[in-house]
A and B are shown apart, each in its own frame.
Chain A
Amino acid sequence: MIRKTNKFVLAVCVLFASIIASTSFAQTIKIGVDGPFTGGSSSMGVSMRDGVRLAAKEINAAGGVLGKKLELIERDDEAKNERGVEIAQELINKEKIVAVVGFINTGVALASHRFYQDAKIPVINNVATGTALTKGPSFPFKDAKDVFVFRTSARDEIQSPMIVNEAITVRGFKKVAILADSTNYGQLGQADLIKALAAKNITPVTTEKFNVGDTDMTAQVLKAKSAGAEAILTYAIGPELAQIANAMAKVGWKVPLIGSWTLSMANFIDSAGKNGEGAIMPQTFIQAPTTPKRKAFIEAYLKEFKPKNDRIDSPVSAAQGYDSVYLLAAAIKQANSLEGDKIRLALEDLKTPVVGVVKTYNKPFTKDDHDAITDKDPVMGIVKNARVVAAKGQK
């Protein structure tokens, strides 16, 4: 037994020695990138990562920030909350990152943000949209003196009224059904939708739930149909959204599909095919060269990553990811420091405008508002011929 124990102690020592040896002190600025690069929401994660990579590459080619190159420490959270927690601890304590960008899944973000907050490391949340990440009654740091979480995506609180507005005001529906997935994303989004509907004195005729990975949505669609819904409002991700569209076609029922920005995901558009045509969603970015910056971004992205059919899997994620790095770089430059607190202060008071893909960021954040996207920014997109285009009547 004593010999066994000795062996064990030796093994532990070797293990730690090898871990410690591998952490070196490089002359780079380490930026953490956290997102799901495998699994169901990976198309958003990978597009976001590619956008981040593109921005970092451009910045480094132009000489980096403060004379140092940006080094991306990418970690796959597998859309699992507990992986996000592990990664947060690793990035903070082991990799000693300066800041982190990413987060696709609201649940992962909720679970891991507090570690960065405690360690005073700025987070730029570039895809996750759950309102509670930056605002609202269930915002975990609402009592904190300084908040280190920023966001460059359109939070649900912005998206839901747009969705509701489209269904109720623009189209004049009175009876709508909500279909949302069972994740944090779907459930929090559903709550925001109900709130936005209530503001117009409407209660949904039914709210239905499904799990990620479900392949048959007949039951949910039938329930919405038998409740007499005139439109379906969705909060879910690509594959399941496609199943909803397909199930509607199957039961021979055609009502408009209006939902969160994820209706623009390539795997929804492709999988739903003609059943997905006409789906409407708020977008911060549509893959169309409407500004010079957008044109340059799209060209660079297509050249660098060569997506299928020249269509970015999730253009919104790519653009927001890209912008988040530029915002961070600007803040580091202005702070002239790698200290988290100084970067936060710089972000809250960016002196020079940053030309981004989504928009030109002119003082995007303040002390009290950590959301770069306001309700003016998103437009409604519509699926047409397997691409997202600006909906009629949009600028």
Chain B
Amino acid sequence: MRFKFLALAAGIIILSLFPIFQTNTYYIHMVERILIYSILLFGLDIVVGYTGQVSLGHAGLFGVGAYTAGILYFKLGVPFLIILPIAVIVSCLFGALLALPALKVVGPYIAMVTLAFGTIIQILINEMTFLTEGPLGIIIKKPIIFGFQTKEIHYYWIVLAISALSLVVINRILKSRLGRSFEALRDSPVACDCMGVSVYKYKVYAFIISAGFAGLAGSLYAYSEQYISPNTYVFELTVLFLLAIIMGGRKTRLGAIIGAAIVITLPQLLGDVKLFRIVATALAFVVVAGSALLISKKMSTVRKVAVPVIGTVGLMAFSYLIKNISDWRLSIFGFMILLVVYYLQDGIVGFVNNFYMRIFSSKKSARDQIDVGNFDKDDAIISAKNSSAPDQLLNLKSVLMQFGGLKALHDVDLIVKKGTIHGLIGPNGSGKSTLINVLTGIYVPTSGTVEFSGSSIVGKVSAKIALSGIARTFQNVQLFNEMTAIENIMVGLNHTYKSNLFEIALNLPRFKREELAAKQRAYGLLKFVGLEELANEEARNLTYGKQRLLEIARALALDPNLLLLDEPAAGLTAPDIKELLLIIKKIKDKGITIILIEHHMEVVMAVSDVVSVLDFGQKIAEGKPKEIQNNPKVIEAYLGAQTT
């Protein structure tokens, strides 16, 4: 923590002294713009890096910020210090406006909606001449602060201070529950919903926060350039932003700064053929030398490095062939995007980290580790014994789930009693998982009623249902892969927080208290399933059996009344299964009701109080395990029709 603080302080001191040693305003202005872009990229990274969405609308949001500042300055003469917060708020509003329709869709559709949004903003800026002066643009003077007319150098310091502040705030947000939720929804949206973290809601949050930073950057940009006009905020700028974030490196602040530095200096580089030759030669040299090093250390093959080597050497040759670089600027730009997308997926920061690790074999986790301390809490699981839920915890009546002509569930009645373990079995395709999906709001039943704790859950969204006390695991494990074990559980503990964005940004006591409590409970839950040693390991690095256990621990973090276990024993070894049985019994002892779907009959029969059997979407039998084992209908369903 101290190291980081010192590094940040050193960086800020170096940057704040920079204009004293380099008095040429051109370079001061250049660094100023890098800082402004960095602020935007910090925000864009939330959307692109953390939640994994593409936004082609950030140029529009940047424009909203710039024009809010421009209009307030030009039309109303509002002072700088009041303009900044207003620009942030207005941009947040626009961000919300964009997010509400955009985030209902996925994939290329999001790209399209955000693109359309950006285009509309640009058209509006261009057309609403009465407000924005249209294509003429607005000329803005450097701000006057408390009667003092700032100059380039003063403004540089203001920008530096604001960007340092943004860095701190964004770091806090991303390390808090918000950041965890953003990452979680990218890794597994469905698990996220089922942990009570509404994917939609948090995507909207991410967009709004991101828009706020874009707006802040935009308003600073207006004062920095002293001129704004509509054709700045176009598609190309958005592509440039995306290039910056991918090239610099996602999910790191340093990557955003490097990305900003590159895209700002890029036009310079591509405007001067001599400079371009120097850089192309240097790049080719670095790639060739790096490849040679990798091959000599037998970490790569000639074949693997062929394309980047040929590409960069070719670029160098190209740079000496052409006379007029401005004609080929866009091709080089496009070429760089391709190179980054395919060979620098983790960005420069990620690449350098990987390179270090491979060459020096120094194990260095890219993510910040959560310090778990030495807490031990046996009561990590909240007991459900005292809950006021009715005895019939779950009550399904003639539930029908129809997909086109297929009836996946047909007239299913099911009653689950409080405090029991209810086994649910049936051949493949009998509708077990469909039932679980209906119970957790992923599917809305075509007809029928589902009552949980005495109230209907039909039509409620997954996150709401999860928060009302139904937790689940998944047949095909749905962990948040790039997050550590303890972070996975802390996503499940999201519901225990009450602190808001401002408390997070300012690191206020209530937030700190809640964070500590959550960490302790998460650690306790890990202990409960025996994973405390692996608390800081990324979920994707755990063995399959451990992943299943982690999923159960995560589900328990939700303080459920009802726990749905979807084939928890699938793929487990015999000793693992033994451990699992123990855990299931312990959960039951806490008074939590369990629905257990399983193909391992011995598991179901060993722990279940009641067993229901589904076949072709219909419930064909129900009773004590012993009865079920001897039920002819069940035997028929499993072994096929027998002639009598």
B135–A38 CB distance below 8 A:
no
Note all chain B residues with C-beta closer than 8 A to A86: 267
Chain A interface SS verdict (over half):
helix
A56 to B291, CA, bound (A): 46
A75–B271 CB distance below 8 A:
yes
B139–A37 CB distance below 8 A:
no
B161 at the interface (CB under 8 A from A): no
How many whole Å from A121's CB to the nearest CB in chain B?
13
A201 at the interface (CB under 8 A from B): no
A187 at the interface (CB under 8 A from B): yes
Of the listed stretches A77-85, A169-177, A302-310, name the one at the interface; the rest are far from the partner chain: A77-85
A76 at the interface (CB under 8 A from B): yes
A107–B229 CB distance below 8 A:
yes
B302 at the interface (CB under 8 A from A): no
Given that A8-B258, A22-B278, A90-B26 are contacting pairs, would A81 and B137 also be in contact in the complex, using a CB cutoff of 8 Å?
A: yes
B227–A111 CB distance below 8 A:
yes
How many whole Å from B480's CB to the nearest CB in chain A?
23
A89–B29 CB distance below 8 A:
yes
A126 to B116, CA, bound (A): 38
Out of B6, B261, B267, B352, name the residue touching A15 (CB < 8 Å): B261
B642 at the interface (CB under 8 A from A): no
A110 to B134, CA, bound (A): 14
0 or 1 for each of B6-24: is its CB under 8 Å from A? (1 = yes) = 1110110010000000101
How many whole Å from A80's CB to the nearest CB in chain B?
6
A296 at the interface (CB under 8 A from B): no
8 A Cβ contacts from B542-594 to A = none
Note all chain B residues with C-beta closer than 8 A to A90: 26, 268, 271
0 or 1 for each of B25-59: is its CB under 8 Å from A? (1 = yes) = 11101000000000000000000000000000000
8 A Cβ contacts from A1-45 to B = 1-2, 4-9, 11-12, 15-16, 18-19, 22, 37-38
Given that A90-B268, A107-B136 are contacting pairs, would A76 and B326 also be in contact in the complex, using a CB cutoff of 8 Å?
A: yes
Size range of the interface on A?
35 or more
Give the number of residue pairs across the A-B interface with Cβ within 8 Å.
112
8 A Cβ contacts from B81-135 to A = 126-127, 134-135
Out of B136, B225, B252, name the residue touching A187 (CB < 8 Å): B136
Given that A1-B3, A8-B11, A107-B229 are contacting pairs, would A93 and B134 also be in contact in the complex, using a CB cutoff of 8 Å?
A: no
Given that A16-B27, A38-B327, A82-B232 are contacting pairs, would A5 and B135 also be in contact in the complex, using a CB cutoff of 8 Å?
A: no
A183 at the interface (CB under 8 A from B): yes
Note all chain B residues with C-beta closer than 8 A to A107: 135-137, 229
B279–A8 CB distance below 8 A:
no
A200 at the interface (CB under 8 A from B): no
Given that A4-B349, A81-B231 are contacting pairs, would A22 and B272 also be in contact in the complex, using a CB cutoff of 8 Å?
A: yes
Note all chain B residues with C-beta closer than 8 A to A2: 3-4, 6-7
B257 at the interface (CB under 8 A from A): yes
How many whole Å from A33's CB to the nearest CB in chain B?
11
How many whole Å from B277's CB to the nearest CB in chain A?
10
How many whole Å from B35's CB to the nearest CB in chain A?
12
A216 to B318, CA, bound (A): 40
B160 at the interface (CB under 8 A from A): no
Note all chain A residues with C-beta closer than 8 A to B3: 1-2
The residue on B at minimum CB distance from A185 is B135
8 A Cβ contacts from B261-309 to A = 261, 265, 267-268, 271-272, 274-275, 278-279
Note all chain B residues with C-beta closer than 8 A to A211: 126
0 or 1 for each of A293-324: is its CB under 8 Å from B? (1 = yes) = 00000000000000000000000000000000
* Listed residue (A81, A85, A188) with the most chain B CB atoms within 10 angstroms of its CB: A81
Given that A5-B8, A75-B271, A183-B135 are contacting pairs, would A94 and B24 also be in contact in the complex, using a CB cutoff of 8 Å?
A: yes
A93 to B30, CA, bound (A): 11
A94–B278 CB distance below 8 A:
no
Note all chain B residues with C-beta closer than 8 A to A37: 326-327
8 A Cβ contacts from B480-533 to A = none
A74 at the interface (CB under 8 A from B): yes
B257–A82 CB distance below 8 A:
no
How many whole Å from A176's CB to the nearest CB in chain B?
23
B534 at the interface (CB under 8 A from A): no
The residue on B at minimum CB distance from A130 is B136
B26–A94 CB distance below 8 A:
yes
0 or 1 for each of B238-258: is its CB under 8 Å from A? (1 = yes) = 000000000000001010011
A182–B134 CB distance below 8 A:
yes
Note all chain A residues with C-beta closer than 8 A to B327: 37-38
A85–B274 CB distance below 8 A:
no
A188 to B25, CA, bound (A): 32
A37 to B329, CA, bound (A): 11
Q: Can you name 5 A-B pairs with beta carbons within 8 Å?
A: A5-B254, A76-B271, A80-B231, A82-B227, A94-B26
Top 6 nearest A-B pairs (CB, nearest first) are A93-B26, A5-B7, A1-B4, A81-B229, A76-B326, A2-B7
